[in-house]
Amino acid sequence: MKNFDIRQVNPVKVSRRNGINYVFNGQHTIETVAAVSGSRDTPVWCMIYDDMDYLEEADTFANQQRFVRQLTPYDIFKANIEAQNNEQLTIKELVESYNLKIGPTKGYCVICAISTLQFIYENYGFHVLDRTLKLCVGTWEGEASSLAAGILKGIAMMVVAYQDKLKDALFQSKLGCVSIKEITRTAKERNNGAMGYAEEIG
């Protein structure tokens, strides 16, 4: 909860029945605010609904979810760019330095694996992400499938594991002649997720 921001909390929805307040949407919000603040008396914004019965509460909770569009990682990334947040600005600048761009759908020189970019940056650091992109672009020249999450994570794992022992020229000459489709197929046979790609690429 270290990144918790009270300003990001949505209003808690409360039904007032017979003089008693029943939370029907936002219990997790209340628990989080209490845990972060250290007090169950910390106020939160609420929307109060009067004279609803239990069935109406359940129906309101269920059906309001139909009108809530889940934000995609791309939506959130764009919002962070607009907010001038350093992490996303740094990632965007790094990606664009390799003549790539971040987008919502897969394409030539387009990375849509935004969560993966952030995972590598947050867990391994700027330089690992930088070298991961360098190896990927140098080997497959922006081919759409080469910028998928599994490939990027697999390369990052190799960079972390081998560090300076991993030679860029050897990596590129060894894998540049192998199609991404073949690497993907074999990686899935080897292991689940990024580990399979790391084993196959290695």
Per-residue pLDDT of 173-201, as tens digits, reads: 877 777 777 777 776 666 555 555 555 45
Q: Is residue 32 part of a domain?
A: yes
Q: In what order do the strands lie in the sheet with 46-50?
A: 20-25, 12-17, 46-50
Same domain for 188 and 96: yes
Same domain for 98 and 164: yes
Q: Which residue has the tokens 């849509």?
A: 112
Residue 19 structural domain: 9-67
Mean of the pLDDT values across residues 121-129? 96
Tokens of 8: 């990001």
The distance of Cα 166 from the centroid of its chain, to the nearest Å, equals: 27
Q: For residue 178, give the DSSP letter.
A: S
Q: What's the mean pLDDT when you consider all of the chain?
A: 85
Same domain for 22 and 83: no
CB atoms within 10 A of CB 172: 17
Which has the minimum average pLDDT: 13-17, 34-38, 44-48, 84-88?
34-38
Rounded to whole angstroms, the Cα distance separating 127 from 93 reads 13
- Which pLDDT belongs to residue 43? 86
At 93-111, the pLDDT tens digits run 999 999 999 999 999 999 9
Which among 170, 153, 85, 68 has a CA at the least distance from the CA of 116? 153
Question: Which of 93 and 18 is assigned the larger pLDDT?
Answer: 93
Same domain for 36 and 85: no
- Which pLDDT belongs to residue 196? 53
Q: Is the dihedral of CA 87, 88, 90, 95 positive or negative?
A: positive
Same domain for 158 and 144: yes
CB atoms within 10 A of CB 47: 12
Q: How confident is the model at residue 88 (pLDDT cuts 50, 70, 90)?
A: very high
Same domain for 112 and 61: no
Q: Is residue 19 part of a domain?
A: yes
CB atoms within 10 A of CB 201: 21
- Which pLDDT belongs to residue 193? 55
Same domain for 124 and 52: no
- Which pLDDT belongs to residue 4? 67
Q: How confident is the model at residue 120 (pLDDT cuts 50, 70, 90)?
A: very high
Q: Is residue 4 part of a domain?
A: no
**Could you give the number of structural domains in the chain?**
2
